[in-house]
């Protein structure tokens, strides 16, 4: 238990500079994209990246049912994509929320408009209570040729993290 107020915890935690991406998940015929900021590399060899995923999310369900997931990063000029993916996405053939996707041979979606994407094989899973840490090993990735900078949380007015608020 912390001795500081929820507000103090939130204000301090929200100051942590965060990346921003969309986690692509899929299992059988269900697919999702989810705006996420808890994304970080945690090892070099093997190359491991960890993501923190809400236990109540559709993404958590799909990631627990599959051995693979993707991380998609977008241009600083295209932050509106993150607004579209902060609730469960609508899947139609070749699209999630009208964003074009390509399914990998491991049946997880890569976003065609991403400037950088990673496909990861699930390596470790640890449930911490509200969120589960998924550690994935990079099995494929691509960076599009462009001078555009990748968007991060500070490019938007969005916030995520701190202590649970309502539905968190």
Ligand X SMILES: Cc1cc2nc3c(=O)[nH]c(=O)nc-3n(C[C@H](O)[C@H](O)[C@H](O)COP(=O)(O)O)c2cc1C
CB of 25 to ligand X, least distance (A): 7
With binding defined as CB under 6 A, does residue 132 bind ligand X? no
| Count of residues that bind ligand X according to CB under 6 A | 19
- Binding mask 5-44 toward ligand X (x if CB under 6 A, else -) reads ---------------------------x-xxxxx------
DSSP calls for 27-63: ETTEEEEEEE--EEEEETTTTEEEEEEETTSHHHHHH
Whole-number Å distance between alpha carbons of 65 and 76: 32
Whole-number Å distance between alpha carbons of 139 and 147: 25
CB of 3 to ligand X, least distance (A): 26
Which of 35, 119 has the CB closer to ligand X?
Answer: 35
- Binding mask 44-83 toward ligand X (x if CB under 6 A, else -) reads --------xxx--xxx----------------------x-
Neighbours of 95 (CB within 10 A): 15
Give just the sign of the alpha carbon dihedral 31, 89, 120, 133: negative
Contacts to ligand X by CB under 6 A:
32, 34-38, 52-54, 57-59, 82, 86-88, 131, 158, 160
């Amino acid at each position: 238990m912390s001795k500081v107020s929820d507000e103090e915890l939130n204000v301090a935690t929200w100051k942590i500079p965060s990346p921003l991406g969309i986690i692509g998940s899929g299992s059988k015929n269900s697919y999702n994209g989810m705006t996420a900021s808890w994304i970080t590399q945690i090892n070099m060899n093997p190359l491991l990246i960890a993501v923190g995923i809400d236990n109540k999310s559709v993404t958590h369900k799909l990631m627990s049912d599959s051995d693979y997931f993707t991380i998609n990063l977008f241009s600083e000029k295209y932050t509106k994509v993150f607004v579209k993916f902060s609730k469960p996405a609508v899947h139609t053939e070749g699209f999630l929320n009208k964003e074009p996707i390509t399914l990998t041979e491991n049946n997880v979606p890569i976003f065609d408009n991403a400037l950088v994407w990673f496909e990861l094989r699930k390596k470790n899973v640890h449930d911490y209570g509200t969120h589960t840490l998924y550690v994935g090993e990079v099995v494929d990735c691509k960076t599009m040729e462009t001078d555009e900078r990748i968007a991060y949380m500070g490019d938007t007015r969005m916030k995520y993290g701190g202590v649970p608020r309502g539905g968190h």
